[in-house]
Amino acid sequence: MRVTIFGATGLLGKALMREWDGDEVTGLGSRDADVRSVEQVDRAIKQHRPDWIVLAAAYTDVDGCETNRALAFEVNCQGALQVVRAAAEKGSRVLFLSTDYVFDGTKTSPYEIDDPLAPQSVYGQSKAEAEVKIREVLPTCCILRTSWVFGVGGKCFPDTILRLSTTRTELDVVNDQRGCPTYTVDLARVIIQLCRKGASGTVHATNRGECAWFDFASEIVRGAGLQTLVRPTSSDQFIRPAKRPGYSVLSSASLQRNGIVMPTWQDALVRYLAERGLPC
């Protein structure tokens, strides 16, 4: 199977390149093929003739999207559509990475794949619009929603907590936003399985279990053997440009229907810390 990964230099893309073996895999960063360029996208797909395209290229700076709406839609929506249109013309299958931010965060039970889209941020809006338009162009596309992605090789929440803990004795972390941390290694393995299974439709994929950012930070500090005190606080004490969903836990039912069960986020965190060479 020939696979082309758009966004191969990002946090998830790096994990995909490390984890994927047994197939002919090509990784493309924005310097190789900018999804905003029709010519670059067409040339890349024509050259590599992929059976599957993993579309992980995205503008993921959630607060940055609020002040750069045009860029967010150019990359996350129009750019994604250009890849999907080219894939449809060449007969390639596509797996598109989406987000929990397509939901409004008002539920108190896990979001199912067919729950209404109601994004509260520009980032979420750009991804939600992409989902709708991608389905129109390529109904067989696999849309994979995930959340709270972390891993080695780039900026992520655990990396920030570990860095701040080297200079601070106390950290205030919000305790009123709940979701599912997702380790790039585990997510990459799921993506590989879904492509090999020929998956289509919408799938939710996160590590098992849910927590608040405060819980996640506390476990990071404890697991790394640090003495930093993590204190709970509320979102109204940390006003940010983009609105975050208060509850964005994604149901694992769709993943289980594909015969896949992911490890817990606690197990994933232990492996992440070990990958960083930290005690756990």
Instruction: From the candidates 59, 101, 111, 123, give the one annotated as an active-site residue.
Output: 123
Q: For strands 229-233 and 178-179, give the pairing.
A: unpaired
Candidates 114, 118, 95, 89; CA nearest to 105 is 118
Q: Where are the beta strands (DSSP E) in the chain?
A: 2-6, 24-28, 52-55, 93-99, 142-146, 149-150, 170-174, 178-179, 182-183, 201-204, 211-212, 229-233
Q: How far is it, in rounded angstroms, from Cα 91 to Cα 76?
A: 22
Of 45, 66, 134, nearest to 97 by C-alpha is 134
Q: Would residue 272 show up in a list of annotated catalytic residues for this protein?
A: no
Q: What angle do CA 211, 64, 33 make, to 5 degrees?
A: 100
Task: State the catalytic residues.
Answer: 123
